Amino acid sequence: MRLDDYIEELEPDEEAERRRLAKEKSYAITDHLEDFERNFEQSLSGDTLVGSTAPSIFVGRSNYPDIPIGLLSPVGDEEQAEEYVTDGKWYQQGYAIDDVLQRRTGLLNSSKPANVDSPSIASRLAPSVDDVWDGFVGVQREVAISDRPVDLEIGLDDTPDLGLDAGTDVATPRGPRANAKNADLRENPHVPKAVKKTLEDDDWQAQGAMTYLYRRGFDVYEINSILSAGALGETKQRRLVPTRWSITAVDDTVGQFVRGQIRTNPSINEVQVWANEYMGNRYWIILSPGRWEFELVEMKAPGSIWNPNPHDAVWMASASEGYEGRTGYVEETAGAYYAARLGVLEHLESIGRQAKCLVLREVSDDYWAPVGVWQVRESVRNAFDGAPGDAGDQGLDGRESIAGEYGEAETFHDAVAKVSRRLPVSHQRLRRKSELAAGLQSSLDAFSSGSLTR
């Protein structure tokens, strides 16, 4: 196996550092891998893995555009296949980092190389991705659009590599991998009506189709796998999209749609401070009256996964947008920016308001393995009215109840000053890094004669 298939984006030494951290923090994973090996041997008949159920897919990005595409199946735990799907339920159930790693390492990724535009590297002359229904790409597509796990038979080329890939900040960690020869469906997958509609309409731009699915009640997790498998968008534009990219694309697209919905809403009328805590990440969300403006500031403690040297200073990153959104790509905070923004926009839409919003994310050294950007999305979503997030080692009963209630402040800058006392960086450093903490954009109409508020 090629090394770059394995490592999503890190330099080898960073990767090694993460593995070391992962080892120090949890032996449970190693035990778990042994169980997996036993289950796997029992499920194997000849070269073919039988009795397999795939709840989801994975599209890699190494060697783009000839990328590995994979079917993820929980070997030996087929009855519970649904539980292995990354989505908001993991948060609701209070999964800790260990739980996520166990789920993900229990999923075998049977993968095969494919070109993003055409079904297989060997047959570039074959039809483009949009109407491939057989072969490995076709089966992967069926799994992606189905709303429940699909029974499959997967033919493997070799025995799986049981190494653990600790994941990245955006993608969920992945488990063992095997090279697949082929895959066959053993049942007719169940595909929701709305998904059929976007699948069949080949004049529908991807953004519009994604928004349609979202409005029809599909969460970003489902839309993301449909987009990944090349199952929506204009015919000529359809292609396989690496999972990591599609997560961000869906958060951004859906976020832009919701932002459009709140643009003309009245503003909230007081400064509110919301909080949540989950998996060693703490979130402060400050909402302030005015037109939409958003910023995410991240502070990563020394010793946490992205800032491994315990003697370094707190690492900071930020990105922001004004009323009309961003024109450039987010250079810092990447996928977390779009995930957090979506969580806030959904809340504002639900209350029919708009606001200026500063999200502060503090990553402590308890966050020892990145579990994927879903953690950011769900923590922000649930800060407003959902279940508090901090399961930690204490289980569900130990959830600290900081989410779902807000504190009030006189002014935005007052709120920032108060919150900054509890941050690992000084108020001054925060003001230098944060566009919103430095100053909130006012509007001209606030200065028209007779008006006192800004």
Partner 1 sequence: MFKAIVSAETLTSTLDSISVLVDECKIHLEEEGLEIRAVDPANVGMVDLSLDAAAFESYEADGGLIGVDLSRLEDIAGMAESGQLIQFELDEETRKLHIQIDGLEYTLALIDPDSIRQEPDIPDLDLPAEVVLEGKDLNRSVTAADMVSDHIALGVDETDEFFYVNAEGDTDDVHLELTRDDLIDLQVGPARSLFSLDYLKDMNKAIPSDTEVTLALGEEFPIKMYFGFAEGDGQVTYMLAPRIQSD
Choices 1-9, 39-47, 321-329, 400-408; region in contact with partner 1 by CB under 8 A: 321-329
Q: Please identify which residue in 69, 171, 412, 425 interacts with partner 1, judged by CB under 8 A.
A: 412
Q: Please identify which residue in 102, 179, 320, 420 interacts with partner 1, judged by CB under 8 A.
A: 320
* Nearest distance, CB of residue 425 and partner 1, angstroms: 12
| 312 belongs to the binding site for partner 1 (CB under 8 A) | no
Which CB, 220 or 319, lies closer to partner 1? 319
Binding mask 68-97 for partner 1 (x = CB under 8 A): ------------------------------
Task: Give the C-alpha separation, 157 to 179, whole Å.
Answer: 5
Q: Please identify which residue in 34, 134, 324, 331 interacts with partner 1, judged by CB under 8 A.
A: 324
Closest to 399 (Cα-Cα) out of 25, 95, 103, 85: 95
Contact between 387 and 92 (Cβ < 8 Å): yes
* Nearest distance, CB of residue 317 and partner 1, angstroms: 10
| 426 belongs to the binding site for partner 1 (CB under 8 A) | no
Q: Please identify which residue in 60, 413, 420, 425 interacts with partner 1, judged by CB under 8 A.
A: 413
Q: Which amino acid is at 336?
A: A
In the numeric block, which tokens belong to residue 56? 């989801």
Q: Which residues pair with 363 in a beta bridge?
A: 281, 300
Q: Are strands 315-321 and 406-409 parallel, antiparallel or unpaired?
A: unpaired
Closest to 276 (Cα-Cα) out of 379, 359, 348, 362: 379
* Nearest distance, CB of residue 452 and partner 1, angstroms: 12
Match 């999964």 to its residue by tokens: 95
Q: Please identify which residue in 89, 291, 418, 427 interacts with partner 1, judged by CB under 8 A.
A: 291
Choices 30-38, 107-115, 390-398, 441-449; region in contact with partner 1 by CB under 8 A: 441-449
Closest to 241 (Cα-Cα) out of 256, 222, 225, 257: 225
* Nearest distance, CB of residue 206 and partner 1, angstroms: 24
Choices 279-287, 336-344, 365-373, 440-448; region in contact with partner 1 by CB under 8 A: 440-448
Closest to 344 (Cα-Cα) out of 262, 451, 242, 248: 262
| 197 belongs to the binding site for partner 1 (CB under 8 A) | no
Q: Please identify which residue in 254, 316, 391, 403 interacts with partner 1, judged by CB under 8 A.
A: 316
3-class DSSP state for residue 226? helix
Which CB, 125 or 444, lies closer to partner 1? 444
Contact between 5 and 113 (Cβ < 8 Å): no
- DSSP letter string over 170-220? SSPPB--EEEEEEEEESSPPP--HHHHHHHH-TTS-HHHHHHHHHHTT--H
| 353 belongs to the binding site for partner 1 (CB under 8 A) | no
Q: Please identify which residue in 29, 67, 383, 440 interacts with partner 1, judged by CB under 8 A.
A: 440
Which CB, 401 or 449, lies closer to partner 1? 449
| 298 belongs to the binding site for partner 1 (CB under 8 A) | no
Which CB, 221 or 315, lies closer to partner 1? 315
| 323 belongs to the binding site for partner 1 (CB under 8 A) | yes
**How many beta carbons lie within 10 A of that of residue 411, not counting itself?**
12
Which residues does 317 contact at the CB level (< 8 Å), separation at least 6?
297, 298, 300, 332, 333
* Nearest distance, CB of residue 145 and partner 1, angstroms: 37
365 secondary structure, DSSP code: T
Question: What is the H or E stretch that residue 249 is in?
Answer: helix 243-262
Q: Please identify which residue in 201, 207, 449, 452 interacts with partner 1, judged by CB under 8 A.
A: 449
* Nearest distance, CB of residue 292 and partner 1, angstroms: 9
Q: Which amino acid is at 304?
A: S
| 443 belongs to the binding site for partner 1 (CB under 8 A) | yes
Q: Are strands 107-115 and 406-409 parallel, antiparallel or unpaired?
A: unpaired
| 408 belongs to the binding site for partner 1 (CB under 8 A) | no
| 411 belongs to the binding site for partner 1 (CB under 8 A) | yes
Q: Is 332 left (phi over 0), alpha (psi -120 to 50) or beta?
A: beta
Count residues binding partner 1 (CB under 8 A): 27
Choices 117-125, 213-221, 319-327, 417-425; region in contact with partner 1 by CB under 8 A: 319-327
| 454 belongs to the binding site for partner 1 (CB under 8 A) | yes
Contact between 254 and 338 (Cβ < 8 Å): no
Strand order in the sheet with 107-115: 44-45, 48-54, 150-156, 177-185, 107-115, 66-74, 56-59
* Nearest distance, CB of residue 284 and partner 1, angstroms: 19
Q: Interface residues with partner 1 (CB under 8 A)?
A: 291, 316, 320, 322-324, 411-414, 431-433, 435, 438-449, 454
